[in-house]
Structure 1
Amino acid sequence: MLSRTKQYLRKNGYFYKKEYIRPLLTPDNIYIFRFGRDRLDNRLIIRYSHKWTGRQRINEIDLRLHKQKHPRIFENESELLQYLEGHLLKHEAKVRAREDKDSKQHQVPDGASK
């Protein structure tokens, strides 16, 4: 499932971990991919069901980059890959810049007394 997405993540240096959830009250099955370069803080939630022939049918793909509150929702894998190619590297750069800025604010300047 989502083989092109896995190839894209590996090619760009991301690690991922896959989990399977079978909810009791809904007929959907759920895979959760956590991925990231340093920490696994991005999340893909894939809700899928089975056709009468036994093939898997993706109902919905939710993408949450860096623990977003409101996910991006995609219908299929090609829409997801278009979004990832356009936004993932930009979003990573923005988050790293914000982390660098925060770490510089918390540093004590040289020669300062404590």
Structure 2
Amino acid sequence: MLSRTKQYLRKNGYFYKKEYIRPLLTPDNIYIFRFGRDRLDNRLIIRYSHKWTGRQRINEIDLRLHKQKHPRIFQTESELLQYLEGHLLKHEAKVRAREAKAKQEHQVPDGASK
């Protein structure tokens, strides 16, 4: 499932971990992919069901980058890959810049006493 997405993540240096959940009250099955370069803080939630022939049908793909509150929702893997190619690297650079700025603010100047 989502083989093109896995290939894209591996090619760009992201690690991922896959979990499977079978909810009791809904007929959908759920896969959760956690991925990232240093920490697994991005998340893909894939809700899928099975057709009568046994093939898997993806109902919805939710993408949450760096613990977003409101996910991006996609219907197909192609839409997801198109979004990732355009936004993932930009978003990663923005988060790294924020972390570097916060780290810089917490450092004490050389001449100051503690």
TM-score band by shorter chain is: over 0.9
1:2-27 deviations in whole A, cap 9, x for unaligned?
00000000000000000000000000
2:111 and 2:32 map into 1 onto residues whose CA distance is 48
2:107 and 2:76 map into 1 onto residues whose CA distance is 45
Q: With structure 2 as the length reference, what TM-score do the two structures score?
A: 1.00
1:58-96 deviations in whole A, cap 9, x for unaligned?
000000000000000000000000000000000000000
1:16 and 1:24 map into 2 onto residues whose CA distance is 26
1:40-68 deviations in whole A, cap 9, x for unaligned?
00000000000000000000000000000
1:54 and 1:16 map into 2 onto residues whose CA distance is 26
Q: With structure 1 as the length reference, what TM-score do the two structures score?
A: 1.00
Deviation at 1:111, TM superposition (A): 1.8
4+ residue runs of structure 1 moved beyond 6 angstroms?
none
1:36 and 1:111 map into 2 onto residues whose CA distance is 38
Q: Hey, what does 1:29 align to over in structure 2?
A: 29
What is the alpha-carbon root mean square deviation over aligned residues? 0.3
% identity of equivalent residues:
94
Q: Report the number of matched residues.
A: 114
Which segments of 5 or more consecutive residues in structure 2 lack a partner in the other structure? none
2:109 and 2:9 map into 1 onto residues whose CA distance is 39
2:81 and 2:12 map into 1 onto residues whose CA distance is 13
1:96 and 1:28 map into 2 onto residues whose CA distance is 36
1:110 and 1:29 map into 2 onto residues whose CA distance is 56
Q: Hey, what does 2:20 align to over in structure 1?
A: 20
